[in-house]
Structure 1
Amino acid sequence: MLTLRRPTPEDADALVAACQDPEIPRWTNVPSPYTREHALAYINRDDPRVLNFLGFEDDQLVGSFSLLEIDLDAEYAEVGYWVAKEARGRGVATQAVERLKLVADQLGITRLELLAHKDNAGSRGVARKAGFIDTGELRPAPRVDPPTAPDYVVYAWSAE
């Protein structure tokens, strides 16, 4: 059973271990190599535009799931996540994204976007399974400077 909760300092070692998988920085903005300092910065991040959660099954870290770029006035947020190597292909991301939709609803957010690299079939599948629609738009990787090529497919979900 998947449990989502806010990260704590006790999660740092598990985050560092999971983020050594080269597939995570390949598709996300997670730094490589990923260090304890990176984990603690993630855990201690104090930004009202971000809500981070860690996913666990039987006390094992299975992923990181976030609402990003939260704008309550615009009722908007972006979904970001990664799934640990051992947990991929089991529906963990889809379950977590469904739960993030509930969190968004509680915050009054009515539009979520999920950006998946055009070559990341797994994340594109998660978006579709979680009820997001391909908008037909391509964007550069989010929060990357300098901007990348527009290789990220924009999926959107609306509560309305």
Structure 2
Amino acid sequence: MEVRTLTDGAVVLSPPGPADVDAITEACRDPLIARWTTVPSPYTRADALHFVEDVVPAEWAQGWPDWAVRNAADGVLCGMVGFVPREGSDPEIGYWIAPTTRRHGLATAAVRLACGFAFAPDGMNVPRVAWRAFVGNRASAAVARRVGFRYEGIARNGLLQRGVPRDVWVAGLSADDPPGPVTGWPL
């Protein structure tokens, strides 16, 4: 897949580079990112360097884009958003936002933009995007709900976090779903 940069005027999605390693390291040391994601914990600069230099290019090469989320006003990295392969054909979206930039709508804008790319004929051209979050991650659920994901239930022991199975909330967004926000979430 050709590497692409996306923007909606509020956020810019571009692949992370060497200049982002320290910002990624600092953000991923946040206890909430460690609690709600599968990033290594404790998170080291070597983890961020491996992610930027090895993981992201390999994912793009296999058709699984991963972007740095940047505030369009200053270009500073404030998070990550991307897709991972999932059982069947649905890509699964994942994202995190650094503690200093939460509650500004950047995650919602980034997820909306990434999903638009997933559905576009010149993007990933998929009919559906999946979302999973560890049960209790209300911030991630709020973003998914605002974007238009439809809640589908709980998958018991649905995802491993550092070798431990955990229950996950599950939702999906189809290309023909009307834009969010949606109701019907029990949270």
Cα distance 1:118–1:145, how it changes in 2: closer, same or farther (>3 A)? Answer: closer
Residue in structure 1 matched with residue 28 of structure 2 by the alignment? 19
Cα offset for 1:50? 2.9
Q: Secondary structure at the match of 1:140?
A: strand
Q: Offset at 1:18?
A: 1.4
Give the aligned residue type for 1:89.
R
The residue correspondences of 1:54-65 to structure 2 (distance < 5 A) are 54-57=68-71, 58-65=74-81
Distance (Å, rounded) in 2 between the aligned partners of 1:141 and 1:41: 26
- Give the letter for the 2:41 counterpart: S
How far, CA to CA, are the matches of 1:140 and 1:82 in structure 2? Answer: 21
SS at match of 2:148: coil
Q: How far off its partner does 1:41 sit?
A: 1.6
Structure 1 residues 75 and 109, CA gap change in structure 2 (3 angstroms)? farther
Report the Cα offset of residue 70 of structure 1.
Answer: 6.3
1:115: which partner in 2?
132
Q: Is the 8 A contact 2:159 2:166 kept in 1?
A: no
Runs of at least 5 residues in structure 1 that lack an aligned partner in the other structure: none
2:174 equivalent in structure 1: 158
Structure-1 residue corresponding to 2:42: 33
Q: C-alpha displacement at 1:96, in angstroms?
A: 0.7
Give 1:141 deviation, angstroms.
Answer: 5.1
Equivalent AA in structure 2 for residue 59 of structure 1: G
Q: Is the contact between residue 139 and residue 154 of structure 1 (CA under 8 Å) also seen in structure 2?
A: no
Identity of aligned residues (%): 33
Q: CA RMSD, aligned part only?
A: 1.9
Q: TM-score, normalised by structure 2?
A: 0.77
Please tell me the residue identity of whatever aligns with 1:8. G
Which residue matches 1:134? 151
> 1:126–1:26: structure 2 CA closer, same or farther, 3 Å change rule?
same
- Normalized against structure 1, the TM-score is what? 0.88
**Residue identity in the other structure for 2:76:** Q
Report if aligned partners of 1:7, 1:54 keep a CA contact under 8 Å in 2.
Answer: yes
Structure-to-structure mapping, 1:63-102, within 5 angstroms: 63-69=79-85, 75-102=89-116
Which residue matches 2:5?
none
Aligned residues: 157
Question: Any unmatched runs of 5+ in structure 2?
Answer: 1-9, 177-187
Tell me by how many angstroms 1:149 deviates. 3.2
Counterpart of 2:183?
none
**Are the aligned partners of 2:63 and 2:124 in contact in 1 as well (CA < 8 Å)?**
no
Between the aligned partners of 1:103 and 1:70, the Cα distance in structure 2 is 17
1:5 corresponds to which residue? 14
What amino acid is the match of 1:6? Answer: P
